Structure 1
Amino acid sequence: MDGSRSITSVLPVETLELVFNHLERRELIPVLGTSSVFHDTASRAVYRNVSETSSVRALQLIKTLASNDTYSRHVRSIDLDFANNLITANILRLLNRALQRLKSLTTLILDFSQTDNAADVAWIFQGCSFSLTAFTSSMRCDRSLARFLAMQPNITELCLRGFNQEYNFVLDPKALPKLEHFRTVLSYPSIIGEVLKGRPVESVSMSLYPGDVCSSLDTLLLSTTAIKRLTVMSFESDPPVTLLPLIADRLPHLEAFHLVVLMTHYTQEILLEIGSSLAQFKALKYITFMAPGIPASFNNEKSIAEAWSKACPTLQTIILPKGLVWFQRDENWACLKDSEE
């Protein structure tokens, strides 16, 4: 105790806070009881960014935040995971009280179970006064969620990853005016379109399913700005060579493209064939292609990188299924493996 007093008499609070910011949460907890100055400074570091993957600890956390303004006012980012447990109405009400106290919150991540996602849980945002810049949730897309998003004009990053059905999800045209990055996993094209329509989204991550490929890709044309980065997880059984022209037709000036193919095994021939489709991209700098299959040899991947570069001269970085990062060096294509040998 005497030691902590002598330290605090010499070091300014700003210096203590810099030190505490480099400590793990478990290392900071004992510091809270050292002295009043240590407690006030350490609590800012402990509660500024909180993440709980354990439902039990997440419940303990929201109990603390729901009843303590001293801690809740420090929270800027919170990540709560209830995906492996069913939650009761009492827990939702407790969560609502905690969220109402998080007036400085800017990043919110909420995951619920598939069962809970089938119900309207967006009412937990009633009475909240925080202003988010990033929001991620697995809750269903319905009118309640749309109303909440309309009250968050500063969101630039949005991720909706629930098992969505069509629940009359209609956004106010003036909602999300600053949205730049949108990610979704399991959504209807209508939901994707509702988010992108009339908003300056330049980065999209989406899934493609059989029967919805073209309608999903058409939603990319609804953004008010050119989409520069696209990540696609494809469940389509057709080979990738048929998918790339569909994307290039809509986004010829795409700069970064990441494609994960789950249903089609790749071969050396398929990868070489993809090169011809890349010629339609006019500004593509970075591409990642991941798919199941027998890994190509190092030399085969190099030949693929060279073929893709010849078809699309703007390419600067290529990542192929082996996971090697290929890049241009001295007008040749190389990877980190080259440097290690």
Structure 2
Amino acid sequence: MSPFAVSLPNMPIELLDAVCAHLPNHDLVALARTSSHLHPIAQRRLYRHLDVSAAAHNLDVVVTLARSPAIARHVRTFSVAISAQQPVFRAFYRALADALSAMSELTALGLHVHSGASWVLAAARGARATAYPRLASFTCSFPFDSHVARFLEGASALERLELDTAPTANPNVLPRISAATIPRLIHFVGSCQAAKVIVPGRPLESVHLHDGDLTEDEVAFLAQSTGQIAVLGAITSELLVPLLQALARHLPYLAYLRVMAPFHMSTKIPDSSFYEQVASTLTLMPELMDFELSGMHWGSSFESNETGPKRIWQAAPLAAAIDPREDAFELSSEYAFVY
């Protein structure tokens, strides 16, 4: 044997871990069964990123995590999807709750299950709530309720939050969260009601409201963000021009704006004066690059004057939905999100 040879048990853990990082799951399973020395290394890699669903036939992984907290702590990204056509027993949700309480090292979490199962986020009675100091992204099918609010209290590193957009029946019972909760949040998707609680005091850059009615009062709440909101998507029944004027006053850094106005657009066919008013109001937003109204794209171009180039917005509808200009909003940029 070469004097420079190193036996497997004496090899650095970091080196073995790097080798395991390049193995597919079926090889990791085989490796975990090879020796007691390789088992924890392979197991750590095997459970690091989990995508669980009935379609993938791997729901039993949740039970494994619930029974083995030591394994659950290896998980970094976890997503589970249960469709209404593939219901599961309540025992599965209890196992999911136990598994989540042990996955304290998560960086991304997606829970696409029954909207009434938000209780899986709560700690068992008498147990201390789990903290998730590394969790950066949380997506779920739950509305903003007391269980979600309590969960957010322990997610100090959260940057992206996407909740169910269904409005709460009684907005007066919305939970409150402390000012120190989720201090790094920059992206939010959810209901207009939840935004009133979550946005103020947090450095939001992107907000998408898929329910409710964006009014000037709601715009004032969005303006309480400590960040510079550059992307906004919302639904409104307000008169468009006054709403755009409010957005120009309160959110001066908007770069991309998408507004759905089904009631406004269905009651009156826009005429030339409407387009002119909208175009004039859009010039009040110096950072705005793209604007869309109920699926209708608003084009713009640059015009030079004494102070330099100035964006001029169209005063008539575009025939095409996609603007081929180089300065059009790039849908692959970090500020673009799919609806």
- Would the aligned equivalents of 2:73 and 2:102 in 1 still touch at CA under 8 Å? yes
Query: What is residue 246 of structure 2 aligned with on the other side?
Result: 246
The structure-2 alpha-carbon separation of the partners of 1:209 and 1:72, relative to structure 1 and needing over 3 Å to count, comes to: closer
Query: What is residue 281 of structure 1 aligned with on the other side?
Result: 285
- Equivalents in 1 of 2:179, 2:247: separation in Å? 28
The structure-2 alpha-carbon separation of the partners of 1:125 and 1:158, relative to structure 1 and needing over 3 Å to count, comes to: farther
Query: What is residue 337 of structure 1 aligned with on the other side?
Result: none
Residue correspondence of structure 1 range 233-312 to structure 2 within 5 A: 233-234=234-235, 243-252=243-252, 254=253, 256-259=255-258, 261=260, 263=262, 275-282=279-286, 284=287, 287=290, 289=292, 292=295, 304-306=300-302, 310-311=310-311
The structure-2 alpha-carbon separation of the partners of 1:192 and 1:35, relative to structure 1 and needing over 3 Å to count, comes to: same
Query: What is residue 317 of structure 1 aligned with on the other side?
Result: none
Provide the alpha-carbon RMSD of the alignment: 4.3
Q: Does 1:147 align with 2:174?
A: no
Q: Does 1:176 align with 2:181?
A: yes
Query: What is residue 316 of structure 2 aligned with on the other side?
Result: none
- Equivalents in 2 of 1:216, 1:24: separation in Å? 49
Task: Give the fraction of aligned pairs with identical amino acids, expressed as a percent.
Answer: 19
Aligned amino acid, residue 143 of structure 2: R
The structure-2 alpha-carbon separation of the partners of 1:174 and 1:234, relative to structure 1 and needing over 3 Å to count, comes to: closer
Deviation at residue 80 of structure 1 after TM alignment: 1.5
Q: CA deviation digits over 1:16-54, x for unaligned, max 9?
A: 433443455466444433444543333222222222243
Larger fraction in helix = 1
The structure-2 alpha-carbon separation of the partners of 1:60 and 1:238, relative to structure 1 and needing over 3 Å to count, comes to: farther
Aligned amino acid, residue 140 of structure 2: S
- Equivalents in 2 of 1:287, 1:73: separation in Å? 43
Residue correspondence of structure 1 range 44-55 to structure 2 within 5 A: 44-54=44-54
5+ long unaligned stretches in structure 2: 314-319, 331-339
5+ long unaligned stretches in structure 1: 314-319, 335-341
- Equivalents in 1 of 2:283, 2:35: separation in Å? 65
- Would the aligned equivalents of 1:141 and 1:169 in 2 still touch at CA under 8 Å? yes
- Equivalents in 1 of 2:105, 2:289: separation in Å? 36
Deviation at residue 96 of structure 1 after TM alignment: 1.9
- Equivalents in 2 of 1:6, 1:210: separation in Å? 65
The structure-2 alpha-carbon separation of the partners of 1:276 and 1:20, relative to structure 1 and needing over 3 Å to count, comes to: farther
Residue correspondence of structure 1 range 21-170 to structure 2 within 5 A: 21-25=21-25, 28-54=28-54, 57=57, 59-84=59-84, 85-114=86-115, 116=116, 121-123=120-122, 127=127, 128-132=129-133, 133-134=135-136, 135-165=138-168, 166=170, 168-170=173-175
Query: What is residue 15 of structure 1 aligned with on the other side?
Result: 15
- Would the aligned equivalents of 1:150 and 1:174 in 2 still touch at CA under 8 Å? no
Aligned amino acid, residue 90 of structure 1: A
Aligned amino acid, residue 222 of structure 1: Q
Secondary structure at the residue paired with 1:222?
Answer: coil
Q: CA deviation digits over 1:86-124, x for unaligned, max 9?
A: 44332222112212222323432212234x35x755435
- Equivalents in 1 of 2:301, 2:140: separation in Å? 37
- Equivalents in 2 of 1:71, 1:77: separation in Å? 13
Secondary structure at the residue paired with 2:96?
Answer: helix
Deviation at residue 76 of structure 1 after TM alignment: 2.0
Q: CA deviation digits over 1:178-228, x for unaligned, max 9?
A: 14224123x243x2111123x2222232226574433332220222x1433
The structure-2 alpha-carbon separation of the partners of 1:104 and 1:238, relative to structure 1 and needing over 3 Å to count, comes to: same
- Would the aligned equivalents of 1:28 and 1:46 in 2 still touch at CA under 8 Å? yes
The structure-2 alpha-carbon separation of the partners of 1:15 and 1:277, relative to structure 1 and needing over 3 Å to count, comes to: farther
- Would the aligned equivalents of 1:82 and 1:111 in 2 still touch at CA under 8 Å? yes
The structure-2 alpha-carbon separation of the partners of 1:79 and 1:280, relative to structure 1 and needing over 3 Å to count, comes to: same
The structure-2 alpha-carbon separation of the partners of 1:276 and 1:212, relative to structure 1 and needing over 3 Å to count, comes to: closer
Secondary structure at the residue paired with 2:208?
Answer: strand
